[in-house]
Structures are given as C-alpha cells and as structure tokens.
C-alpha cells in the first residue's frame, strides 16, 4: 500500500472572472461581483498531495524539503502578489476560475514531480476562500 504526503502553501493574488466573448451584461449575470472590472483578490491556500511508495532508506515518499522548494519556485514566486489576468500569460485567454487555476497548478507541478519519478501521482486542492475550494483530479 502507498502513502500520500501533503504540503500546504499559499499565495495572494488579484483576479477577475470575465468571458471576452460575452457582453458586459452577460458577464455580470453569470459572474456577478466576481466580474468587477477593477479586480478583487484572495489569499489562496494550496494543498499539494503526492502519492507513492515509501523509500526504504529514507522512510519518505518524497523529500518534503524538495517538494516545498518546487512549490516555492514554480507556484509561489510565479503567482504570489500578482494579478492573475494581467500578469500570468496563461490567464489572458483562460478565465481564472478556481477550477482553471487548480488545473494550471496541477500541470506545472505534475511536470516537475515527474522528473523525480514517473510513478508519483499528485492531487491539488486550492482554497479560494475558507468556504470555497476545488480539488483536481476529483475526489469522487
């Protein structure tokens, strides 16, 4: 049986939900306050879970110091104190909903962790607020 190791991280960012193909009225109807043209923001909390076998010599699935450093270099430095719509090229065409952000983070970290081992599986949970959060891949 395998063990899942999880690490929490966080970043603060501004964003706006807006579909360029829609009128302002439709954006307002679907996204409501989240569509404020001047942006609003969140303290995003992130849980990165890595599943794999426990190494017999180290007693670890993955060295948490390395995982922490990957999250810092690839996610925190990249997204913290940013405007997701304006500062992150990926979100110039993709609406930065929590669902899209969690998939974006998954792809970046999946690629990094695959370099350590192809066998490691990952899952990301992203809290947009303490009451709203998303998980990818899905839990059910």
Member of 25, 75, 78, 86 binding its own copies (CB under 8 A):
86
Member of 69, 92, 114, 137 binding its own copies (CB under 8 A):
137
Q: Which residue has the tokens 């109807």?
A: 29
- Taking the CA atoms of residue 115, residue 45, residue 19 and residue 122 in that order, the dihedral angle to the nearest 10 degrees is 30
Task: Provide CB contacts within 8 A for 96, sequence distance 6+.
Answer: 15, 16, 17, 84, 85, 88
**Which string of x and - marks every residue 18-57 that binds its own copies (by CB under 8 A)?**
-x-x--------x-xxx-x-xxxxxx-----x-x--x--x
Per the annotation, the verdict on 112 as an active-site residue is: no
> Does 117 help bind its own copies (rule: CB under 8 A)?
no
Cβ neighbours, 10 Å, residue 117: 13
Residue among 40, 69, 81, 99 flagged as catalytic: 81
> CA-to-CA distance for 62 and 114, rounded, in angstroms?
12
Per the annotation, the verdict on 118 as an active-site residue is: no
Per the annotation, the verdict on 34 as an active-site residue is: yes
> CA-to-CA distance for 24 and 129, rounded, in angstroms?
25
Q: Which residues bind its own copies (CB under 8 A)?
A: 1-10, 12-15, 17, 19, 21, 30, 32-34, 36, 38-43, 49, 51, 54, 57-61, 63-65, 80-83, 86-87, 94-100, 102-103, 121-123, 129-140
Please identify every residue annotated as catalytic. Answer: 34, 81, 128
């Amino acid at each position: 049986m395998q063990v899942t190791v999880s690490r929490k991280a966080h970043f603060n960012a501004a964003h706006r939900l807006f579909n360029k193909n829609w009128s302002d009225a439709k954006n307002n109807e679907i996204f409501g306050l989240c569509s404020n043209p001047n942006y609003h923001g969140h303290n995003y909390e992130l849980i990165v879970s890595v599943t794999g076998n426990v190494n017999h010599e180290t007693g670890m699935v993955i060295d948490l110091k390395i995982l922490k450093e990957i999250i810092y270099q690839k996610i925190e430095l990249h997204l913290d104190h940013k405007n997701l719509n304006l500062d992150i090229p990926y979100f110039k065409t993709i609406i930065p909903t929590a669902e899209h952000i969690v998939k974006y983070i998954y792809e970046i970290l999946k690629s990094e962790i695959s370099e350590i081992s192809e066998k490691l599986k990952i899952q990301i949970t992203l809290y947009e607020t303490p009451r709203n959060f998303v998980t990818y891949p899905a839990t059910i």
